[in-house]
């Protein structure tokens, strides 16, 4: 699903109207019909439609007319005394000609009828502000939004909840808290906010008659990963295949205090379908891990066969539990300085890159880095708060500069190669526990080793990782790494079908 901002919407609208000759009021009518499509008329019979004076308000007035034509009870309000946009005014006049009473809210005294309607009706439809809002909401608009939120009505927002930023994260003072948002053409960038779910509820993105090539003409290659994207990437296995066909994966991980990280990342690679997995770790913890990893091979860095394993690998993961020390830096330098297979850098392999970013620039390998916010802050020198405000932009710029794939962990994980951006749509807070990042590293290394193109492998791995957590969280209070690892092959099988 495409992600876009207000500039994209303006460009699309202008092209459709000026170049294709599609009247803007036709797009408005299409939008209204898509809102109607998403209303359960078995459940909702009466409606409070609250409109602004711009085109979002026009959408709301068109929805009111469609509801009236279906013999639904409606109460229609317009907030503010600004002059209406052309299409908003056209729909306003149609409603007046039909004989529908439209109440204007300009002062707090005008709020009485709104509160009564909200008390009586089943659904409130928010059509006050659209994607073009940039100013802080205050005055009568703030009072109206607060009244809608306090009501017991089911709240449906048109295109974007009034008060929510479209282009970045956050709200403009206050915002509608919708149960459902019917958005048009693209998933709005503001919906990716950490707190976004509180305001947007369930999101439905509907097409309103814009040709797809027009959207593509202005779109910036930013997408929300959906299950169909993943199904299109994952391949069924050839019935004649053997373990050698599914990759030789090497995991470099673990230290005396972090044997679990080595175990988890290795086991995740095994359970994700890798043909042959080898853990390379410190000699002091080798015996402990050998006894646990019955389906993977293991060796120490000092092993005579170590260099041969590295050179024959189809993918390598470095970092989980290794420690931020000279040994880790030495391992990273050793691998990145040689030609060979793609490399996944996680955890301490990222920490040792601080001040050593030339290792990324100078390497001839395909590199995937998987930082969380703290690690990305250390790599870039950008504070975490600023990172949260501009996750996509910072990740894209880093990927471009260092020619790597960046997977920036967090709510709506960002995956980018500097050209395209995919925002992961799976995962939840019940997965917030130690070992989850190690699990993801193992999955990514596994899919790359199985022959998937590294960028696609990273997209798929993030989705599968979160999807496992989403399924498990339906029946569990908390989801641990071991739970996810156990679930991986079942989820992959489901996605392959």
Give the pLDDT confidence of 431-477 residue by residue, as tens digits.
Answer: 999 999 999 999 999 999 999 999 999 999 999 999 999 999 999 99
State the span(s) of the chain assigned CATH 3.40.50.10260.
Answer: 24-220
Which CATH superfamily, name and number, covers 228-496?
Ribokinase (3.40.1190.20)
In the chain, the percentage of residues whose pLDDT exceeds 70 is: 100
Q: What are the b/e assignments for 389-409, b being 16+ CB within 10 Å?
A: eebbebbbebbeebebbbbbb
39: buried, middle or exposed (CB in 10 Å: 19+, 13-18, 0-12)?
Answer: buried
Confidence check: pLDDT of 108 > 80: yes
State the span(s) of the chain assigned CATH 3.40.1190.20.
Answer: 228-496
Confidence check: pLDDT of 195 > 80: no
Handedness of CA 243, 248, 249, 254 (dihedral sign): positive
Confidence check: pLDDT of 273 > 80: yes
CA distance readout (Å), 61 to 67, 78, 85? 10, 9, 12
- Going by C-alpha positions, the residue among 190, 199, 154 that lies closest to residue 40 is 154
Confidence check: pLDDT of 194 > 80: no
Q: What angle do CA 468, 472, 475 make, to 5 degrees?
A: 165
- For residue 182, count other CB atoms closer than 10 A to its CB: 26
Beta bridge partners of 127: 51
**Token pair 């501009």 in the structure block, residue:** 390
Q: What is the C-alpha separation between 209 and 186, in angstroms, rounded?
A: 12
In the chain, the percentage of residues whose pLDDT exceeds 90 is: 96
> What pLDDT sits at residue 154?
99
Q: What token pair was written down for 71?
A: 């013999």
> What pLDDT sits at residue 119?
98
Q: Taking the chain, what is the end-to-end CA distance rounded to the nearest angstrom?
A: 21
> What pLDDT sits at residue 196?
80
CB-CB contact of 291 with 265 (8 Å): no
> What pLDDT sits at residue 321?
98
Query: Across all residues in the chain, what is the average pLDDT?
Result: 97
Q: If you average pLDDT over residues 113-134, what whole number do you get?
A: 97
Confidence check: pLDDT of 193 > 90: no
Q: pLDDT (tens digit, 9 = 90+) per residue, 408-424?
A: 999 899 999 999 999 99
- Going by C-alpha positions, the residue among 32, 133, 148, 156 that lies closest to residue 90 is 32
> What pLDDT sits at residue 389?
84
CATH number of 24-220: 3.40.50.10260
Q: What token pair was written down for 426?
A: 């799976």
SS3 353: coil
Q: How confident is the model at residue 82 (pLDDT cuts 50, 70, 90)?
A: confident
Q: What is the C-alpha separation between 389 and 166, in angstroms, rounded?
A: 13
Q: What's the length of the chain?
A: 497
Q: Which helix (H) or strand (E) holds 203?
A: strand 202-206
CB-CB contact of 163 with 171 (8 Å): yes
> What pLDDT sits at residue 81?
86
> What pLDDT sits at residue 274?
98
Q: pLDDT (tens digit, 9 = 90+) per residue, 134-190?
A: 999 999 999 999 999 999 999 999 999 999 999 887 899 999 999 999 999 999 999
> What pLDDT sits at residue 293?
96
Phi, psi angle pair for 224, to nearest 5°:
-100, 120
């Amino acid at each position: 699903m495409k992600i876009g901002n207000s500039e994209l919407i303006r460009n699309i609208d202008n092209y459709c109207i000026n170049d294709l000759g599609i009247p803007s009021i036709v797009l408005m009518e299409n939008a209204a019909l898509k809102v109607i499509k998403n209303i359960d008329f078995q459940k909702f019979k009466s409606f409070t439609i609250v409109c602004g004076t711009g085109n979002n308000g026009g959408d709301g007035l068109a929805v009111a007319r469609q509801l009236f034509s279906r013999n639904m009870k409606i109460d229609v309000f317009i907030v503010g005394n600004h002059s209406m946009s052309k299409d908003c005014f056209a729909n306003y006049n149609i409603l007046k000609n039909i004989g529908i009473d439209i109440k204007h809210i300009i002062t707090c005294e005008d709020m009485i009828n709104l509160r009564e309607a909200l008390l009586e009706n089943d659904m409130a439809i928010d059509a006050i502000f659209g994607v073009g809002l940039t100013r802080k909401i205050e005055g009568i608009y703030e009072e109206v939004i607060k009244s809608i939120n306090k009501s017991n009505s089911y709240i449906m927002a048109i295109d974007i909840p009034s008060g929510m930023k479209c282009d970045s994260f956050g709200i403009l003072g206050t915002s509608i808290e919708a149960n459902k948002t019917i958005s048009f053409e693209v998933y709005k960038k503001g919906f990716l906010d950490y707190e976004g779910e509180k305001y947007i509820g369930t999101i439905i993105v509907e097409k309103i008659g814009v040709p797809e090539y027009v959207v593509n003409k202005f779109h910036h290659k930013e997408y929300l990963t959906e299950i169909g994207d993943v199904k299109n990437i994952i391949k069924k296995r050839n019935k004649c295949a053997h373990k050698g066909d599914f990759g030789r994966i090497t995991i470099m991980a673990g230290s005396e205090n972090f044997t679990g990280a080595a175990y988890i990342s290795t086991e995740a690679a095994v359970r994700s379908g890798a043909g042959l997995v080898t853990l390379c770790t410190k000699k002091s913890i080798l015996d402990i891990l050998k006894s646990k990893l019955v389906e993977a091979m293991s060796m120490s860095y000092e092993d005579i066969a170590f260099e041969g394993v590295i050179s024959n690998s189809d993918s390598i993961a470095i970092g989980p539990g290794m420690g931020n020390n000279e040994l880790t830096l030495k391992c990273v330098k050793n691998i990145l300085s040689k030609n060979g297979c793609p490399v996944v850098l996680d955890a301490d392999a990222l920490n040792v890159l601080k001040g050593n970013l030339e290792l990324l620039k100078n390497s001839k390998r395909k590199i995937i880095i998987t930082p969380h916010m703290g690690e990305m802050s250390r790599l870039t020198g950008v504070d975490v708060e600023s990172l949260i405000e501009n996750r996509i932009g910072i990740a894209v710029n880093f990927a471009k500069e260092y020619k790597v794939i960046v997977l920036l962990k967090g709510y709506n994980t960002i995956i980018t190669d500097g050209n395209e951006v995919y925002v992961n749509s799976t995962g939840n807070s019940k997965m917030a526990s130690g070992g989850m990042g190690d699990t993801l590293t193992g999955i990514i290394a596994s899919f790359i080793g199985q022959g998937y193109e590294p960028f696609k492998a990273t997209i798929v791995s993030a989705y599968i990782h979160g999807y496992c957590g989403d399924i498990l969280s339906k029946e569990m209070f908390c989801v641990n790494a071991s739970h996810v690892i156990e679930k991986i092959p079942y989820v992959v099988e489901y996605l392959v079908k």
